[in-house]
Amino acid sequence: MPEVNLQHIDKIYDGGVQAVYDFNLDVADGEFIVLVGPSGCGKSTTLRMVAGLEDITNGKLLIDGKDCTRLPPKDRDIAMVFQNYALYGHMTIYENMAFSLTLRKENKEVIHRKVMAAAEILDLKSQLNKKPKQLSGGQRQRVAMGRAIVRNPKVFLFDEPLSNLDAKLRGSMRREILLLHKKLNATMMYVTHDQTEALTLADRIVCMSMGHVQQIGKPIDLYERPANTFVATFIGLPPMNMFEGEIRGGKFESELFSYPLNAKQKETLKDYEGKGVIMGVRPENIVRGGSVKLTVTNNENLGMNTLVHGKIGGKKIVVCKFAEWCGYKPDDVIDIGFDAEMTHFFELPDGDTPGKAIR
Amino acid sequence: MKQTKNPVIQHDIMRYKKNKLGANLALLGLVFGCVYFVVLYAQVKNGDYYYNWSLAFDVIYNLFFLLFVFLFSEQVKNYDRKLFVLQIIIGALQIARIFWLPLGGITHTYTVGDAEQTVITAGTFIAMTVALACSGALIIASAVIGYIRSKNVERFTKELENGQINLDEELKKEQPAGGEANA
């Protein structure tokens, strides 16, 4: 039985603004789901609906088989970790972690055992007598997680928990959350706009845009087989290079270059002869030594690789990622080509609807 | 089913939770002390029995009393027993004060017209006596509880440091029957 079922969930605010459209998701027991997307895409709203902090306009929410659509948050057996930690400043860390259990009038020994177990997991034992203001951002976030752990909920919800931390701390906290998930084997739903967090943490990613689910799948699926142009450009850093053109005579013809298709691509694109399509190539799938001329505008050496920004035909900005240390100067012209196995083709977008992948 | 308490866990909890009982008893003692002097000062009239140097001394003593009892409550809260003896003395003095101004007021008489009457009524005397007795008893109780608990915490911490107690093992033990009864 799936731990969390979201069935045809809609969220329409009082003013008539719709934030989430027909959201469907089955989260399995012990699964780590990450909702990712740009600001305003409806990911936090969806999480808040699961938590019960937002009403569900249409649809059904089941947690462990129980209909929780109209259930108040306290009866859903979920725990939420917020971006701003939401700790009580006048309480010690111990009291903060024990607070929810104290409210439930649990036995003091039970509370103590749970708090100490959570503190052990999160390496907070030496901080228990301190106040939140005496802790670093990362430690505060661990306390917020500890407060969720002691409740032993059915589902953990994380709403951008690492957004307030600096990049280095974010990396270490990311690893801690992953370890925590392995230790607890709990069902977790995690909201972020950071694709690195999504790719590294998730068992499955839900990619959202403008209230719509764009793709649900394993991180590798979203990266290697994006469902549409939105997912293709949102997942991956730097984003995928997109070229608009059309299929003509076994070639992808754009106004900037002509790219001969291989047999497999010809077969896939046979129904698109004479039609407009988009070709997508990730920066790391651009190779040196092809037939396309790139005029370098910027060369960024990152140590283990080099990002080369340039223009094709003086118009289209392209980013290439080369594994070597490169020393190009602005206005250098280099020959590039595309790894045929790693090129993607999409239909043209239809208004706000991103172009679907052609497979 | 009645909860079976694990003494190790109970002591460990004290390392992370303040001694609220001891602190609150001291503060309650302070409140009763305030009741006493409010009742006393309501009896003071210009030129009467209480209107002399003893009243000035009582006012000053009350200021120190308020300050010290507040300090006692804070130290007891943090399992500190440096001021234990002073706290016992102040508690005992509260009880001893019954025999000074309240007893003086009920035993001293003056003449109004043809009638002799005491400075304070029996009801006022009882109110003052009860307030002072409660104040003293609560402050002493707070001191004793604070002393016992601070000793317990100190001993427990030493035993932990010496490795005489395996706290991790105790924490991992199953909660005795009824442990989740009031969950």
What are residue A20's DSSP bridge partners?
Answer: A11
Smallest CA-to-CA distance from A123 within A106, A135, A110 is with: A135
A/B interface, count of CB pairs below 8 Å: 45
pLDDT for residue A193 is more than 80: yes
Residues in chain A whose Cβ is within 8 Å of chain B = 92, 94-95, 104-110, 112-113, 115-117, 128-129
Q: Which of A105, A107, A129 sits opposite B16 (nearest CB)?
A: A129
* pLDDT band (50, 70, 90) for residue A225: very high
What is residue B181's predicted lDDT score, i.e. its pLDDT?
A: 38
Name which of A92, A104, A128 is nearest B183 (Cβ-Cβ).
A104
Structure tokens at A313: 């035909």
DSSP state of A275: S
CB contact under 8 A, A107 and B182: yes
CB A6 within 8 A of CB A59: yes
Closest alpha carbon to A8 in A62, A78, A48, A71:
A62
Contact B183 A113 (CB under 8 A): no
What does the pLDDT average to over A41-59? Answer: 95
For position A2, what pLDDT does the model report? 60
Of A200, A237, A195, A197, the closest CA to residue A215 belongs to: A195
Q: Which pLDDT score is estimated for B174? A: 65
Indicate whether A1 pLDDT > 60: no
**Closest chain B CA to residue A94:** B16
* Minimal Cβ distance to A107: which of B3, B15, B17: B3
Q: Encode chain B (183 residues) as per-residue pLDDT tens digits.
A: 455 688 888 899 999 999 999 999 999 999 999 999 999 988 887 667 777 888 889 999 999 999 999 999 999 999 999 999 999 999 999 999 999 988 888 888 887 778 888 888 889 999 999 999 999 999 999 999 999 999 999 999 999 888 888 877 777 776 555 444 333
Residue of B nearest to A113 (CA): B171
Selecting from B3, B13, B180 the residue whose C-beta is nearest the C-beta of A112 gives: B13
Give the per-residue pLDDT at A152: 86
Q: What is the mean pLDDT of chain A?
A: 92
**Complex prediction ipTM:** 0.74
> Which of A92, A104, A109 has the CB atom closest to B9's CB atom?
A109
Q: What is the pLDDT of residue A210?
A: 94
Distance from CA of B92 to the nearest CA of A (A): 34
Token output for B122: 């029996």
Name chain A contacts of B183, Cβ cutoff 8 Å. Answer: 104-107, 110
pLDDT at B179: 41
Pick among B4, B11, B171 to test the A interface (most A CBs inside 10 A): B171
Chain B nearest-CA distance from A109, in A, is: 7
User: Is B79 at the interface with chain A, CB within 8 A?
Assistant: no
Query: Are the beta carbons of A109 and B171 separated by less than 8 Å?
Result: no
CA A192-A197-A201 angle, 5° bins: 110
What's the pLDDT at B3? Answer: 58
Angstroms from B183 CA to nearest CA on chain A: 4
B3 and A112 within 8 Å at the Cβ level: the answer is no
Choose the weakest-confidence range: A117-121, A222-226, B112-116.
B112-116
Apex CA B73: angle with CA B68 and CA B77, to 5°? 145
Tokens of A353: 């609807």
B149: CB partners within 8 A, 6+ apart: B14, B19, B22, B79
Per-residue pLDDT, B175: 59
**CA distances to B35, B115, B128 from B44, in Å:** 15, 20, 14
Give the rounded percent of residues in chain A with a pLDDT score beyond 70: 99
Q: Count how many residues are written for chain B.
A: 183
How far is the C-alpha of A166 from the C-alpha of A136, rounded, in Å? 11
Indicate the pTM of the whole model.
0.80
> Cβ A113–B9 below 8 Å, yes or no?
yes
Check if the beta carbon of residue B102 is closer than 8 Å to that of residue B129. Answer: yes
Q: Return the pLDDT at B76.
A: 95
pLDDT digits (tens, 9 = 90+) for A10-20: 999 999 999 99
pLDDT tens-place string over residues A302-335 = 988 999 999 998 888 899 999 988 999 999 999 9
CA atoms within 13 A on the CB side of A279: 31
For residue A296, is pLDDT > 50? yes
Nearest to A124 by CA among A101, A140, A112: A140
Residue carrying structure tokens 């089955």: A26
